[in-house]
């Protein structure tokens, strides 16, 4: 089993540029999460999907962040335009229900 797959692993962009991250969850996992992890801190939830429905996006900065999970499988997280403070690791996780999340390796974003 491949686990949760994320790409790209690393991305360096200049501020005001757009960026997108992709996540392929574990097969059969209906719940998908996007977390942001700042350096030296624990992950913070951005958005949670149950199948294709975003059931918790209260922490997603909607002015510049967007996410989609059109067919209830893969998901993309987009930032447009990126700001310096967006530099972080963006983690995708999936679970078959609640609680025990399996995380991907993350996408490290550096905004210059």
Footprint on this chain of other proteins (rule: CB under 8 A): 4, 38-45, 48, 56, 91, 93, 98-106
User: Can you say how many angstroms the Cα of residue 102 is from the centroid of all Cα atoms in its chain?
Assistant: 13
- H/E stretch holding 97: none
Q: Tell me how far, at minimum, the Cβ of 16 lies from other proteins, in Å.
A: 23
Nearer to other proteins, 81 or 103 (CB): 103
Nearer to other proteins, 17 or 50 (CB): 50
Q: Tell me how far, at minimum, the Cβ of 85 lies from other proteins, in Å.
A: 11
What residues form DSSP beta bridges with 21?
77
Helices (H), the chain: none
Q: In the chain, what is the straight-line distance between the N-terminal and C-terminal CA atoms, in Å?
A: 36
Nearer to other proteins, 70 or 98 (CB): 98
Q: Tell me how far, at minimum, the Cβ of 56 lies from other proteins, in Å.
A: 6
Measured CA angle at 2 (ends 90, 55), to 5 deg: 45
């Amino acid at each position: 089993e491949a686990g949760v797959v994320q790409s790209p692993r690393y991305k360096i962009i200049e501020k005001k540029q757009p960026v997108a991250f992709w996540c392929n969850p574990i097969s059969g996992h209906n719940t998908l999460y996007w977390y942001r992890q700042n350096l030296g801190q624990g992950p913070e939830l951005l958005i949670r999907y149950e199948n294709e429905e975003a059931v918790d996006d209260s922490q997603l900065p909607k002015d510049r962040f967007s996410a989609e999970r059109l067919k209830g499988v893969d998901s993309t997280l987009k930032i447009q335009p990126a700001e310096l403070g967006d530099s972080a690791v963006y983690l995708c996780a999936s679970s078959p229900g609640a609680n025990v999340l399996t995380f991907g390796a993350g996408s490290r974003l550096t905004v210059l």
